[in-house]
Amino acid sequence: ALSINPTDAWSVHTVAHIHEMRAEVQEGLEFMQHSEAHWKDSDMLACHNYWHWALYLIEKGEYEAALTIYDDHILPSLRASGAMLDVVDNCSMLYRLQMEGVSVGERWQDVLSVTRKHSRDHILLFNDAHFLMASLGAGDAQTTQELLTTLRDASESPGENCQHLLARDVGLPLCQALVEAQDGSPDRVVELLLPIRYRLVQIGGSNAQRDVFNQLLIHAALNCSSGLHKHVARSLLMERDALKPNSPLTARLIRKAAAVHLLQ
């Protein structure tokens, strides 16, 4: 498709996913760099393609370069559009960087200014989780509580709304896990996320997008006090390495596990 129409941003997006799934980080970076001129002005997908570009940089541990793409392209797109895809890209990017130990400064405040008005929407649980990342990151307890309370209300009277039907068993535990992570309770994060991790596909988003929740579970398990949960961390890392060999991010997490004697 790209040989016929190199400006097809959806085809660029498809190739970006392939490189991400295979952990072909250098190939992905080179592809995005060489094709950027063809898709950088596409209305809907430019921001999301830059998000994919930044994912490769996070994989490599090149956090400043990822933040540069965020500041130059991803955040400006959100400010200009307020589009939901731009919202989740911004939230996911900042959250992933934070899990890697990167300080994102006051950037959450910029994102919250867009997401706050959506805290009662509850259209997609995938979106709700990302709105929650923003309110937690910005330290807005009122918006956090509003989102959780109204989502709980929706789960209690779901009608035929499939997302509201999922909220009780999937959406609320996921959101509570994000809260527990923010509060420094990794054991509780594992208790909430581990039972639902194979059901997260039901909330929407791509595998690449939902990987933020896989990473959250691994980071939590690595920091648990429970011996059982530490064994979970080892199993999760071995599974991740088998599914996505040669991932620099996974290699870093494995080294962290080895440093705290989880892989002995």
Walking along the chain (264 residues) 10 residues at a time, the average pLDDT comes out as 81 96 97 96 94 98 98 98 97 98 98 98 98 98 98 97 97 98 97 97 97 97 87 94 96 91 60
Q: What is the pLDDT of residue 261?
A: 65
Q: What is the pLDDT of residue 4?
A: 79
Neighbours of 170 (CB within 10 A): 20
Kindly report the CATH class assigned to 1-97: mainly alpha
Say what angle helices 207-222 and 248-259 make with each other, to 10 degrees: 10
Q: What residues contact residue 126 under an 8 Å CB cut-off, 6+ apart?
A: 88, 203, 204, 205, 209, 210
Q: Which residue carries 């934070």 as its tokens?
A: 98
Domain boundaries, the chain: 1-97
Q: What is the pLDDT of residue 159?
A: 96
Q: What is the pLDDT of residue 255?
A: 94
Distance (Å, rounded) from C-alpha 95 to C-alpha 69? 15
Q: What is the pTM of this model?
A: 0.95
Q: Phi, psi at residue 204, to the nearest 5°?
A: 105, 180
Contact predicate 17/4, CB 8 Å: no
Q: Among residues 96, 140, 93, 152, which one has the least CA distance to residue 115?
A: 140
Distance (Å, rounded) from C-alpha 47 to C-alpha 9? 11
Q: What is the pLDDT of residue 263?
A: 58
Q: Among residues 261, 170, 181, which one has the least CA distance to residue 219?
A: 181
Q: What is the pLDDT of residue 153?
A: 98
DSSP the chain: -TTT-TT-HHHHHHHHHHHHHTT-HHHHHHHHHHHHHHHTT-TTTHHHHHHHHHHHHHHHT-HHHHHHHIIIIIHHHHHHH--HHHHHHHHHHHHHHHHTT---TTHHHHHHHHHGGGTTT-S-HHHHHHHHHHHHHTT-HHHHHHHHHHHHHHHHS-TT-HHHHHIIIIIHHHHHHHHHHHTT-HHHHHHHHGGGTTTGGGG-S-HHHHHHHHHHHHHHHHT-S-HHHHHHHHHHHHHHHHHSTT-HHHHHHHHHHHHTTS--
Contact predicate 54/93, CB 8 Å: yes
Over the range 124-143, which residues count as b (16 or more CB within 10 Å of their CB) and which as e? bbbbbbbbbbbbbbbebeeb
Tell me the Cα Rg of the chain.
18
Distance (Å, rounded) from C-alpha 34 to C-alpha 27? 11
Letter for the amino acid at 264?
Answer: Q
